[in-house]
Amino acid sequence: MTKRLIETWLPIAALGEESVRERRSMTALPPTYYLHVWWARRPLIASRAAILASVLPADADKDKFMHMLGIHGDPIAAKKRIEKATREGVRLGGEAYGYRSGEA
């Protein structure tokens, strides 16, 4: 039986940061995806990652895997950048994670 990506590698820290970002609202209005899952909110990025990693072979391209999940940058570095900006009183705005608009 072929080994799957989830058995050998899964970027837990990056998925955790993306889950936090996904749950946080950047605006005063709730995101539209709250409307259909309000009764059972789940970490969608983590669910997508688990499903995708269980289908892909262990030697799959890890960068392409992250891109397919919608992670187009380094969420760990972004968290550090946000924490530094918060300490310095700088507001990074809607592009705090370094993603171009519409890419997150």
pLDDT digits (tens, 9 = 90+) for 31-48: 555 555 555 556 688 889
What tens digit of pLDDT does each residue of 10-39 get?
A: 999 999 888 887 776 555 556 555 555 555
pLDDT digits (tens, 9 = 90+) for 56-75: 999 999 999 999 998 888 88
Joined tokens for residue 30: 């709730």
Amino acid identity at 13? A
Q: How many CB atoms lie within 10 A of CB 75?
A: 24
Q: What are phi and psi of 25, to 5 degrees?
A: -95, 130
CB 65 within 8 A of CB 72: no
Tell me, what's the pLDDT at 51? 94
Q: What are phi and psi of 57, to 5 degrees?
A: -70, 160
Q: Would you give the DSSP letter of residue 102?
A: T
Q: Quick count: other Cβ atoms within 10 Å of Cβ 5?
A: 20
